[in-house]
Amino acid sequence: MELRTRPATVKLPEEMFTGDAWADVIHRGEEPSRTRANAVHFAPGARTAWHSHGVGQTLYIVEGIALIQSRGGRILEAHPGQVIWTPPGEEHWHGAAPDRFMTHIALWEGDDVDWLDHVTDAEYSGPSTREL
């Protein structure tokens, strides 16, 4: 067992995010492990671009209000303590509500993330389901 040094917080790139978002690496598995865990912090209104994960992704909401949408679906609103599962290959985005900071723990395997187009303001403001 060892106590590991955490890398510095990194600002996430504009190519993959709209608005300001930062990540703290919690875990990056070393072969043969492919597990990844990041704490991701979103400023109000910030969000990922559309993307998908080869083997899915789990999000655990830590603080604030999260908005999550699968391509073609309604926007889901999630609160601290709630868990969201996105299946392998499902195009989706996630981010903060327009008036709240939001932090989630993102859990996934490997680096096979397919980054797509940015979420437009119209998509971000689309129809929602207010609670999971």
pTM for the full predicted model: 0.91
Alpha helices (H) in the chain, listed in sequence order: 121-124
Q: Is the pLDDT of residue 67 over 70?
A: yes
Q: Is the pLDDT of residue 24 over 80?
A: yes
Nearest to 73 by CA among 16, 127, 18: 127
Find out whether 132 and 76 touch, Cβ atoms under 8 Å. Answer: yes
Nearest-Å Rg of the Cα atoms of the chain is 14
- Predicted local confidence at residue 129, as pLDDT: 65
Other beta carbons less than 10 A from residue 45's beta carbon = 18
Other beta carbons less than 10 A from residue 61's beta carbon = 22
Q: Is the pLDDT of residue 131 over 70?
A: no
Return the residue matching tokens 């709630």.
Answer: 82
